[in-house]
Chains A and B, each alone.
Chain A
Amino acid sequence: MNEYLKIFLSSALIDNVVLIQFLALCPFIGMTADVHKSNGMGVATSFVMVLATIVTYPLYHFVLLPLDLAFLQTLVFILVIASLVQLVEYYLKKSAPALYSSMGVYLALITTNCAILAVTLNSISKGYNFLESIVYSLGTAVGFLLAMVLMAGIRQKVKLAKIPAFIKGTPVLFVAAGLLSMAFSGFSGLIK
C-alpha cells in the first residue's frame, strides 16, 4: 500500500507533470484564461489519461512485446490515444449530451496533449506493473488538474494587478508559472 501512495504522491506533487516536468504546457497557458474552461479541460484530460494507460499497458505487454514490435510503441500508442478520444467523444455525445456540450471542444484537443502520451510511455519505461501504472496515471492526472486550477486562479488575480508594460501578457504568465514551480520544488523532500 505504501508503495502505491509513494507513486501517487511523487507523480502528483513532487514530479508535477506541468510545473516540474514541463509537459502539457499548451493547455496550461492556452486554456487557463477562464476558470470553467480550465476545469473542463483538466477533467477531460485526466479521464483520457487514465483510460489510455489502462488500454496501452496490456497492449504493450501482451501484443507488442511477444510479437517483437516494441519499436512501434510510439506509433501504436498515439493511434490508441487518438481513437480513444474519438470513442469517448461518441459515447458522451450519445449518453451524456449535457456533459458533451460542455466538454466537446476540448476532447479533440486532448489527442495532441503531450502529457497523455508521456504518461503511457513513462509507465512502460519505468517498469511499473499494471496496478502501479494506473496509480501513476491517476497521480499525474491529479497533478495536472491541480496545476490547471491554480493557474486559472492566479490569472484571475493577474487581470486586476498592475503589471509593467514589457512583461504584460504571456511573459507574466511564465513568471507566475516559475513561482508556482518553485513552490512545488519544495515538495521534493516529502518522500525519502
Chain B
Amino acid sequence: MKKYWQLFKNGLVKENPLLFLMIGLCSSLAVTTSFENGLGMGLALTFVLLMSEVLISLLRKLIPDSIRIPVFIIIIATFVTIVELLMKAYMPDLAKALGVFIPLIVVNCIIMGRVESFASKRTVAESAADALGMGFGYLWVLTGISIVRELFGNGTFIGMTLIPEQYTIGFFTGAPGGFFVFAIFIAVTRLIRVAYEKNKGEQK
C-alpha cells in the first residue's frame, strides 16, 4: 500500500508534470482563464491519462516493441475522442470554452511521456497510482492558476463577485498574464521545495 502512496505523491509534488518536469504546458496556460475551465480540463486529462495507462499496462506484453508508439497514439486518441464526444453532449458550454484544447490532449506530452516511460513497463495497479498522481498534480496546478487569473482578471470566483469591477486587472485574463502567473507559480513552489529540503537536511 505504501508503495502506491509513494507513486501517487511523486506526481503530486516531487515530479509535478507542470512545475518540475515542464511538460504539457500548452493547455495549462490557454484554458486557465476561469476556474470551471481549469477544473474541466484537469479532469478530462486525468481521465484520459488513467484509462490509457491502465489499458496500456494491461496490454504491455502483447504490444510489439517496434510499433508501440503508433499503438499508444491510437489508444490515447480513442479515449480523447470519447471525452470530446461526452463533453459535447453533456457540457456544451465547457466544450466550447475549451475548444481545440480537448482534441489536443492527444499530443499532450504528459500522457505520451508517462505511457512510454511508466505504463509500458509496470503493473496495472502501479500505473493507475502513477496516473492518478500525475493527473491530480496537473489538476491542482491548473485550478490554482485559474483561480488566481479569474480572481484578479474578472473579480469572480465560482460565480461570486469578490472584487468590484473597477478594481479588476484585465491583464491577468490576457495571454501575457498567463505567462506571468505561471512564472510566479514555478518560482514559489521551487522556493518552498528548497526551504523544505534544507529543513530536512538539517534534521538529519
Chain A interface (Cβ within 8 Å of chain B)?
19-26, 29-30, 71-75, 78-79, 82, 111-114, 117-118, 121-122, 125, 166-167, 169-175, 177-179, 181-182, 184-185
Contact = CB atoms under 8 A, between A and B. Distances in A.
Contact of B81 (A24, A74, A181): A74
Given A22-B178, A29-B25, A174-B186, A118 B81 contact: no
B176 interface: yes
Contacts of B108: 114
A171 B30 CA distance: 17
Given A25-B29, A112-B107, 14 more contacts: A23-B104, A75-B78, A114-B26, A118-B100, A118-B104, A121-B100, A121-B103, A122-B100, A170-B183, A171-B184, A174-B186, A175-B179, A177-B179, A181-B175
The 8 lowest CB-CB distance pairs between A and B, nearest first, are A178-B179, A174-B183, A22-B30, A25-B25, A171-B187, A75-B77, A182-B176, A74-B103
Contacts of A30: 22
B22 A178 contact: no
Given A75-B81, A79-B73, A112-B107, A185 B174 contact: yes
Interface string B126-161: 000000000000000000000000000000000000
Q: Is the interface of A mostly helix, strand, loop or mixed?
A: helix
A20 B175 contact: yes
B55 interface: no
B5 interface: no
B117 to A, nearest CB: 14
Interface residues of B, number: 40
A178 B109 CA distance: 22
B176 A171 contact: no
A75 B71 CA distance: 12
Contact of A73 (B103, B112, B180): B103
B23 interface: yes
Interface string B155-171: 00000000000000000
A26 B27 CA distance: 11
B121 interface: no
Contact of B84 (A25, A74, A114, A182): A74
B201 interface: no
B8 interface: no
Interface in B5-47: 22-27, 29-30
Contacts of A19: 175
B22 A29 contact: yes
7 contacts: A22-B175, A26-B22, A78-B77, A125-B100, A171-B186, A177-B179, A178-B178
Contacts of B22: 26, 29-30, 170
A170 B100 CA distance: 27
Interface string B92-123: 00000000100110111100100000000000
